[in-house]
Amino acid sequence: MSSALLVVQTLNGLQLGVLLFLIAAGLTLTFGVMDFINLAHGVQYMVGAYLAAMFVAWTGSFWTGLALTLPTALAFGLLLETTIYRRLYDRAHLDQLLATFGLIIFLNQAVKTLWGAAPLSVPIPDLLSGSVQLMDGLFYPVYRLALIAVGLATALLLHLLINRTRVGMLVRAGASDAPMVSALGVDIRRLFMIVFGFGAMLAGFAGALVAPILSVQPGMGDDLLILAFVVIVIGGVGSIRGAFLAALMVGLIDTLGRAFGPQLLRLAMAPAAANQTGRSLAPMLIYILMAGVLFFRPTGLFPVKR
Amino acid sequence: MRAASQREVGDAARVWARPEFWIFAVLALAPLAAKLGAEAYLLSLATHALIFAIAALSLDFVLGHGALVSFGHAAFLGIGAYAVAMLSRWGHEEIFVQLLAAISAAAVFALATGAISLRAGGVYYIMSTLAFGQMLYFFFVSLSAWGGDDGVTLDARSRLFGAAVLKSDVGLYYFALAVLMACWALAERIVGSRFGRVLGAIRQNPLRVRAVGFQPFGYRLTAYAISGAMCATAGVLLANQSEFVSPAFMTWQRSGELLVMVILGGVGSLWGAILGAIAFLALEEMLSSLTEQGNLILGPLLVLIALTGPTGLAGFVMRSAGGGAR
């Protein structure tokens, strides 16, 4: 029974991990390539979820809704880039924080005004509804398995894109030394736009993917944003590989820690004390991990060479 | 951008010319003006503004003079607030005991997390202070003995030397004003001291400071600890004002609001942060009384401020006052 629980929680952890990766991937590149702190990345994830909810309700089909969400999320990201972010790239971090914080406040309120404060829900598509039996007495929803698979596939695709294509090469070069890339005759503004738009689309994609299993509500991106920051600090700013491994680590440690922390502590402590300590300690685990990584490797596990 | 330097304080004639003098004078008279309107409501707003002025001042100290963008300052508000809740339940209702405990706890938290955050610097510093703040938030959320997510209600406000001075809203207001003035004076002293000079030099050029033989790390860490301890005193007052403590005091959005106050006031002037806190809270209150969707206006306003990059209220005041205020 306990092994079944372990499998379920590991899958849940993986699911959180790939979700975090989709969000952190765009964020780590905007940090690494543009040296830009985008607090509004979390609300872009939220906007993706709302767009998916809207399009699915309009078209009545999850797949059409998803297909419409991606280009719209991309367009939304590009709109933000051209109107606001572009003017902030060479400004102090403080100005970037202020502007993107203002965007969070605005967009959280805007979705409330447009769609109401009550959470929306999106039905799971028929094709992926139901559960499969993984082992004796253990059923797991197909949709969640599909989510993990899609996340891993996206990570692979991104890996190929970054490491095997010309644009990917420029992005890697930009993360190491953006002024030098610009000096070599590359249109750096266009590169910034591509990186930013792509990151916004990935965040929107993540939002659309979780719309059927989480409630779509204002502020849903706020806490995930902080987790994505933790992922980036652990993985190293600008590193996709670091973001991927750190995202899986954070997802698994957070989920397993909450599920099994109290039980593990019971080996060393009285049950009541173990329960209390475990419950307080579990949500702090990933931050303690981050502190440890920062202490021993101040620039993350996979720092980009400069 | 910085206000007149410390040496001029002794010059009695110039006291009038300092913006701080006018700010504190207006704040001291504010309870009288509140009598003209809905007194209890206005006084509670003003007290709230004073408390956040202390927090913003502490952040401006480390941000404006140490160039450290701390995005987790609300954690210190929480530490101060929970110090009140815990000590009063254990029978220590004296506010100076609570302040002392809050300051020590905040300094320890700042030293421990700051030492790690400062190792990498830059964006890592911003992100890790944010994350450590969130860590403490989740710690208090899961602390079921203290109400967890729901928080705890205080039995009574703290006592001042055994007397129930703070029970009256006016008493609490003037106590908060006294704390604000003490914090401001302390921050000004530190900025003008040898320590403050080194800190300012590190802000301008860490490499040169290192070459002269100073280690920036210790100075920055100390500044962060002082700032955190100062912010915790605001937390003590906040708990007393609301007679309630909960993790909602220390969300990362609160940390963001503190940054907004400092930027709005003008980074680095110290007194600007006081104006910034008052202006931000007044703006928020006004917008929310006008419309339920005040954030639709507040958000774009912040974006606009960031894009146009003005020098904040402090810069505005100095420019309008012209050469006469120098």
How far apart are alpha carbons B238 and B242 in whole angstroms? Answer: 6
Q: Which of B127, B138, B303 is nearest residue A232 as measured by Cβ atoms?
A: B127
Q: What is the pTM of this model?
A: 0.89
Chain B CB contacts of A298 below 8 Å: 119-120, 124
Sign of the CA dihedral running A53, A55, A61, A65:
negative
A299, B135: Cβ pair inside 8 Å? no
B135, A288: Cβ pair inside 8 Å? yes
Question: What integer pLDDT is reported at residue B326 of this predicted model?
Answer: 38
Residue of A nearest to B257 (CA): A101
Question: What integer pLDDT is reported at residue B13 of this predicted model?
Answer: 54
Mean pLDDT score, B127-137: 90
Question: Any CB–CB contact under 8 A between B111 and chain A?
Answer: no
Question: What integer pLDDT is reported at residue A76 of this predicted model?
Answer: 94
Angstroms from A17 CA to nearest CA on chain B: 18
Chain A CB contacts of B293 below 8 Å: 109, 113
The yes-or-no verdict on residue B10 having pLDDT over 60 is: no
Nearest to A294 by CA among B132, B135, B215, B59: B132
The yes-or-no verdict on residue B162 having pLDDT over 90 is: no
Angstroms from B217 CA to nearest CA on chain A: 14
Contact B132, A295 (CB under 8 A): no
Q: Which of B127, B143, B302 is nearest residue A280 as measured by Cβ atoms?
A: B143
A280, B260: Cβ pair inside 8 Å? no
Q: Which of A98, A287, A295 is nearest residue B263 as measured by Cβ atoms?
A: A98
The yes-or-no verdict on residue A46 having pLDDT over 90 is: yes
Mean pLDDT score, A231-248: 91
Residue of A nearest to B293 (CA): A109
Question: What integer pLDDT is reported at residue B129 of this predicted model?
Answer: 92
Question: What integer pLDDT is reported at residue B40 of this predicted model?
Answer: 80
Name the percent of chain B lying above pLDDT 90. 44
Of residues B21 and A82, more confidently modeled: A82
Nearest to A264 by CA among A9, A11, A19: A9
Q: Which of A96, A279, A298 is nearest residue B142 as measured by Cβ atoms?
A: A279
Angstroms from A233 CA to nearest CA on chain B: 6
Contact A119, A54 (CB under 8 A): no
What residues are paired with A132 via a beta bridge?
A140
Chain A CB contacts of B305 below 8 Å: 98, 102
Q: How many CB atoms lie within 10 A of CB A264?
A: 13
Which residues of chain B from 25 to 64 reach within 8 Å of chain A, CB to CB? Answer: 63
A39, B256: Cβ pair inside 8 Å? yes
Chain B CB contacts of A102 below 8 Å: 298-306
Question: Any CB–CB contact under 8 A between A109 and chain B?
Answer: yes
Question: What integer pLDDT is reported at residue B11 of this predicted model?
Answer: 52
Contacts of A280-284 with C-beta under 8 Å, sequence gap 24+, read A280/B139, A280/B142, A280/B143, A281/A257, A282/A254, A282/A257, A282/A258, A282/B142, A283/A254, A283/A258, A283/B138, A283/B139, A283/B141, A283/B142, A284/B135, A284/B138, A284/B139
Residue of B nearest to A116 (CA): B293
Complex-level ipTM: 0.86
Q: Which of B123, B296, B307 is nearest residue A37 as measured by Cβ atoms?
A: B123
Nearest to A194 by CA among A92, A94, A77: A77
Contacts of A177-185 with C-beta under 8 Å, sequence gap 24+, read A177/A306, A178/A33, A178/A34, A178/A35
Using one digit for the tens of pLDDT, what is the confidence trace for B79-117? 999 999 999 888 888 889 999 999 999 999 999 999 999
Question: Any CB–CB contact under 8 A between A282 and chain B?
Answer: yes
- The mean pLDDT value of chain B amounts to 86
Q: Which of B131, B252, B256 is nearest residue A290 as measured by Cβ atoms?
A: B131
Mean pLDDT score, A165-181: 85
Chain B CB contacts of A96 below 8 Å: 306
Using one digit for the tens of pLDDT, what is the confidence trace for A108-146? 999 999 998 888 888 888 888 888 887 777 888 889 999
Contact A260, A197 (CB under 8 A): no
pLDDT tier at B322, thresholds 50, 70, 90: low
Which residues of chain B from 236 to 255 reach within 8 Å of chain A, CB to CB? Answer: 252-253
Nearest to B219 by CA among B114, B106, B76: B114
Name the percent of chain B lying above pLDDT 70. 93
Contacts of A281-284 with C-beta under 8 Å, sequence gap 24+, read A281/A257, A282/A254, A282/A257, A282/A258, A282/B142, A283/A254, A283/A258, A283/B138, A283/B139, A283/B141, A283/B142, A284/B135, A284/B138, A284/B139
Using one digit for the tens of pLDDT, what is the confidence trace for B228-268? 999 999 999 999 999 899 999 999 999 999 999 999 888 88
B139, A280: Cβ pair inside 8 Å? yes
Nearest to B305 by CA among A107, A34, A97, A44: A97
Question: Any CB–CB contact under 8 A between A113 and chain B?
Answer: yes
Q: How many CB atoms lie within 10 A of CB B143?
A: 17
Of residues A43 and A300, more confidently modeled: A43
Chain B CB contacts of A29 below 8 Å: none
The yes-or-no verdict on residue B9 having pLDDT over 50 is: no
How far apart are alpha carbons B60 and B263 in whole angstroms? Answer: 9
Q: How many CB atoms lie within 10 A of CB B4?
A: 16
Mean pLDDT score, B290-295: 80
B128 to A40, B113, B240, B321: CA distances (angstroms): 17, 9, 30, 40
Residue of A nearest to B122 (CA): A93
Nearest to B112 by CA among A237, A280, A295: A295
Q: Which of B145, B263, B293 is nearest residue A113 as measured by Cβ atoms?
A: B293
Mean pLDDT score, A43-54: 94
Question: Any CB–CB contact under 8 A between B300 and chain A?
Answer: yes
Q: Which of B120, B299, B307 is nearest residue A294 as measured by Cβ atoms?
A: B120
